[in-house]
Amino acid sequence: MDAVTQSATAPAFPRLGQPAPPFQAETTHGTLRLEDFKGSWLILFSHPADFTPVCTTEFIEFAKIAPELRHRGVELLGLSIDSTYSHIAWVRNIEQHFKVTIPFPVIADLNKEVATLYGMIMPGESKTEASRCVFIIDPNQVVRAMIYYPLTTGRNMDEILRLIDALQTTDKHGVATPANWRPGDQVIIPPPKTIEAAAERTEMPGITCTDWYFAKKDLPK
Amino acid sequence: MPCVKPDGTLEPMAQAIVRALRAPRTVEGVCEHLRLPLYRVRSTMRELCEAGLVAESDGVYGLTDSGRRRVEQMP
């Protein structure tokens, strides 16, 4: 298959920095559209199937971080290729056995419409289940981050919270965040783009400047 | 329409919202009044509008005559 044919037939998956694909879906909280979340950050995440152990641990952990996410203006929206009845039964089962209430809606994507739109199905892993995908969508409904985990591996909630904190810090302060950054750590000042700005950067007071391209600073408390 | 049950009565969320709309409010006003997330109010409000129970004017939502009758019938 040549490159032209490939690009003509390949599905258009979400891209970072581009608008999230709009959808309308049946969920455990009624019919929801992507646009209903406008003005909030949204974590759209998929799981392979209801009543499976790794997914159960993830749902419990997503429920546990839901208050912290809400505090940051973030909503959660789950998805799997199961029916609404299955979702309701599973959510009730989790509440019964683990004493954890699932506070977020879950899309019942039986026709795989949203899963296909977002490229959540990885045929190399499974043709009938969604992999463990996370799409972080900002209040303007732009895709800001994507994480993909395989069927076997549960996601890390600390990393999801850290990623949200990093994206919100970037938006608020116009900075970047270094590896393993945590709130309270120094942030990266974007590198200068001109020779004059590079010279100025090395003389700038109040920052930690290792070299013209590598400078950090504290954020106001 | 999930907010209206097959027997014609309203789902609990829809009932709470039509009760809140006895005084006209914005979507944000309903969220604040009922302490509900924005997405939940937006989606339910859309269905209530489609059911003819609620109408919007300049971003403010209020009950229609049909909506007012429905509230009076609610327990």
Could you read off the pLDDT of A74-130 as tens digits, one per residue?
999 999 999 999 999 999 999 999 999 999 999 999 999 999 999 999 999 999 999
Q: How far apart are CA B26 and CA B32, in angstroms?
A: 10
Residues B45-56 have a mean pLDDT of 94
Residues B38-46 have a mean pLDDT of 95
Q: Report, in angstroms and rounded to the nearest whole number, the Rg of chain A calculated over CA atoms.
A: 20
The residues in A 82-141 lying below 8 A from B, measured between CB atoms, are: 105
| Residue B69: predicted pLDDT | 92
Least confident of A103-107, A142-146, A174-178, B5-9: B5-9
- Identity of the residue in B3, B11, B43 whose CB atom sits nearest the CB atom of A36: B43
A32 in reach of chain B (CB within 8 A) = yes
Residues A200-207 have a mean pLDDT of 89
**Percent of chain A topping pLDDT 70:** 95
Residues A57-61 have a mean pLDDT of 97
Instruction: Specify if B25 maps to a domain.
Output: yes
| CATH code for the domain in which residue B59 is found | 1.10.10.10
Residues A41-67 have a mean pLDDT of 97
Nearest one of A190, A180, A179 to A217, comparing CA atoms: A190
| Residue A10: predicted pLDDT | 60
- Identity of the residue in B11, B13, B43 whose CB atom sits nearest the CB atom of A32: B43
Q: How many domains does chain B have?
A: 1
Could you read off the pLDDT of B17-32 as tens digits, one per residue?
999 999 999 999 999 9
Nearest one of A21, A32, A20 to A105, comparing CA atoms: A32
Residues B25-44 have a mean pLDDT of 96
Mean pLDDT of chain B: 92
| Residue A4: predicted pLDDT | 47
| Binary contact (B11, A36; C-beta < 8 A) | no
Could you read off the pLDDT of A141-166 as tens digits, one per residue?
999 999 999 999 999 999 999 999 99
Residues A168-191 have a mean pLDDT of 96
Q: How far apart are CA A2 and CA A8, in angstroms?
A: 10
Element (H, E) at A45: strand A41-46
| Residue B5: predicted pLDDT | 81
Instruction: Specify if B29 maps to a domain.
Output: yes
Instruction: Specify if B5 maps to a domain.
Output: no
pLDDT band at B57 (very low <50, low <70, confident <90, very high): very high
Residue A2 has pLDDT above 50, yes or no: no
Residues A188-209 have a mean pLDDT of 92
Is residue A209 among the annotated active site residues?
A: no
This model of the complex carries an ipTM of 0.88
| Binary contact (A40, B3; C-beta < 8 A) | no
A71 in reach of chain B (CB within 8 A) = no
B13 in reach of chain A (CB within 8 A) = yes
Q: How far is CA A69 from CA A62, A110, A180, B26, B59, in A?
A: 9, 28, 19, 24, 28
Residue A24 has pLDDT above 60, yes or no: yes
Instruction: Specify if B68 maps to a domain.
Output: yes
pTM score of the predicted model: 0.91
| Residue B74: predicted pLDDT | 82
Instruction: Specify if B31 maps to a domain.
Output: yes
**Domain coverage including residue B67:** 12-73
Instruction: Specify if B36 maps to a domain.
Output: yes
B37 in reach of chain A (CB within 8 A) = yes
Instruction: Specify if B7 maps to a domain.
Output: no
Instruction: Specify if B3 maps to a domain.
Output: no
Question: Which positions in chain A touch B42 (Cβ < 8 Å)?
Answer: 35-36
